[in-house]
Amino acid sequence: MIKMSVMIKVGMADLNVCEYPNSITTLGLGSCVGVALYDPVTKCGGLAHVMLPDSTAIRNNANIAKFADTGIVELVKRMEKKGASKIRMVAKIAGGAQMFAFSNSTDLVRVGERNVEACKKKLRELGIRIVAEDTGLNYGRTVEFYTETGMMTIKAVGKELKEI
């Protein structure tokens, strides 16, 4: 019997896990960051669409998938439930663009950059190595993550498909 693979979709401020042979995607990352985790032994992957850097800075923080700090921890937890091991996990991150060319530099303006920094910091704390990234600049990205190989593809308007 052929096992059909499906593409799991992760929305904004959302996360999900995904097991071989399925793949997982999130569409149109702007200043948000897509964090993909992968256990190459169990071929279990996970993807979080992080919107904001820090859950403790905001009162309205019920949705843990929205924040870099709580979202990544939750993603690790969910993957461990599927048999993945944190020690083996590696990460690939994409997004964190600055969509508008603002002339001043308030916190909102730098939010993409701050999201990327926060994701890196959390991953470092958890001892998860970032093996590839495609972050910053000024354009939106759609990412797809494949559990077969741990490959991430990045689509952007007017650009060639990128594999990291």
Partner 1 sequence: MAKINMDSMDSMQYDILKELGNIGAGNATTALAQMLNQKLDMKVPRVEMVGFDTLPSVICPEEELVVGIYLMLDEDVTGSMMFLMPERSAHNLVDQLMGRAMGSDEPFSEMDYSALQEVGNIITGSYLSALSSLTNLTIGASVPYVAIDMAAAILSVPAIEFGQLGDKALLIKTQFGDDVMIDGYFILIPALESYDKILSSLGL
Contact window for partner 1 (CB under 8 A) among 5-13, 38-46, 72-80, 119-127: 5-13
The residues in 65-104 that bind partner 1, with binding defined as CB under 8 A, are: 66, 97, 99-103
Residue 31 contacts partner 1 per CB under 8 A = yes
Pairing verdict, β 141-146 and 23-29: antiparallel
Instruction: Decide whether 7 or 102 has the Cβ nearer to partner 1.
Output: 102
Among 6, 138, 148, 161, binds partner 1 (CB under 8 A): 138
Say whether residue 4 binds partner 1 (CB under 8 A). Answer: no
CA 3 distance to own-chain centroid: 26
Report the C-alpha gap between 19 and 44 in whole angstroms: 5
CA distance 107 to 20: 39
Provide the angle, in degrees to the nearest 10, between the axes of the packed helices 68-81 and 111-126: 40
Region label for 56, one of left (φ > 0), alpha (ψ between -120 and 50) or beta (otherwise): alpha
Verify binding: residue 159, partner 1, rule CB under 8 A: no
Stretch that binds partner 1, among 25-33, 36-44, 128-136, 143-151 (CB under 8 A): 25-33
Q: Are 68 and 113 in contact (CB under 8 A)?
A: no
Any catalytic annotation for residue 119?
A: no
Q: Which residue numbers are catalytic?
A: 32
Instruction: Using CB under 8 A, list all residues that contact partner 1.
Output: 11-14, 27-32, 51-52, 58, 60, 63, 66, 97, 99-103, 108, 111, 138-142, 155, 157
